[in-house]
A = this chain, B = another copy of it.
Amino acid sequence: MNDRVRVLLADDEHLIRGALAALLALEDDLTVVAEAASGPEALAMAAAHRPDVAVLDLQMPGLDGLEVAAELRHRLPECRVMIVTGHGRPGYLKRALQVGVRGFLPKTVSASDLAGIIRTVRAGGRYVDPELAAEAISAGDSPLTPRETDVLELAADGSPVAEIAERAALSPGTVRNYLSSAAGKLGAENRHAAVRIAREHGWL
């Protein structure tokens, strides 16, 4: 395999994306074949340029990195996907691995590390930042049922129960039961603290 590694770079922050592209261009065996500033754009560029490795920012307009990764898995199975994140909460990592992401790292790594990881992933390997991995493991799985998670998510903006019930097409009593149960499982004093705790663990 003497071809250069074809890389797709997706990040909504031009400054970072441009800088990254410049740095990766310094590596002899890497070529940035496409750049994107949003989720949908990343998908389009991937389809057009068929990169070997896609480096996706977690937070992007339109579709976030995980959604793009899930799509890419179906549309371009041979393309390896890596997620780069600013300040990553655990939970994202787990979801990322579930959609077939091969690399997951914070932006605190150095550029030369990034290049090395791209090569590793290209060769079929995996890389997960040790610190994020440790956090994810210690955080564990969400104790909430799917429905509890849904309702808690609807409660996230501080809406009163009546509104949540309407949006969830549930009885207000049921909503309160779910919220009470969720708050109990999370050790929160009320649903609002529960939202915060779930957010911190990446369960929301």
Contact = CB atoms under 8 A, between A and B. Distances in A.
A188 B158 contact: yes
A111 B19 contact: yes
Interface in A134-151: none
B15 A108 contact: yes
Contacts of A16: 15-16, 19, 107
B157 A108 contact: no
Interface string A94-123: 000000000000111111001000000000
Give the residue among A18, A109, A160, A163 with the most B Cβ atoms within 10 A.
A18
Interface in A159-204: 159-160, 163, 188-196
B107 A189 contact: no
Given A22-B23, A23-B22, A192-B192, A108 B159 contact: no
Given A14-B109, A15-B20, 9 more contacts: A15-B84, A15-B109, A15-B111, A86-B86, A158-B189, A158-B190, A158-B191, A158-B193, A160-B190
25 contacts: A12-B108, A13-B106, A13-B108, A14-B109, A15-B16, A15-B20, A15-B110, A15-B111, A16-B16, A16-B107, A18-B110, A19-B23, A19-B111, A22-B22, A22-B111, A37-B108, A86-B86, A158-B189, A158-B193, A158-B194, A158-B196, A159-B189, A160-B190, A163-B189, A192-B192
